[in-house]
Structure 1
């Protein structure tokens, strides 16, 4: 039986909430501490979200996206990943 949890070579990995948050944060040259101050969220919560250890609440995700200053398309991509991670419920 084939393991379908991993993408095959050449297949894109699914975009996760944490991966997207980390990607946008590092692209902006922002540290976790800086984002923490801007988003009024603990560094530990940001780190756990980026690692995939926890899914942020909608309120926290909204503050993180605001702290990152994402445009509407990038923010929508993160919201879609968040909704999928929560089983489609938003």
Structure 2
């Protein structure tokens, strides 16, 4: 019974791991799309970048999503460890 709970706890990690991976992938795409451009026309300086309010909001949202998924993974991992210890 406890072994099944351990296995279930491990399998439950799949979705948050995939979600975190997707969130980081989206974040990297946003970063590349914004920071691979020359913003000198807008900022007047090649070493400065401009982000719109929507882009800032997108950064914050996806960053918080990644953080939430990582927290879920940590909690799930701890649950799996507790289930494993119960079998020993």
What interval of TM-score do these two structures reach, taking the shorter chain for normalisation? 0.3 to 0.5
**More helix per residue:** 2
- Structure with bigger gyration radius: 2
Given the two structures, how large is their TM-score scaled by the length of structure 1? 0.36
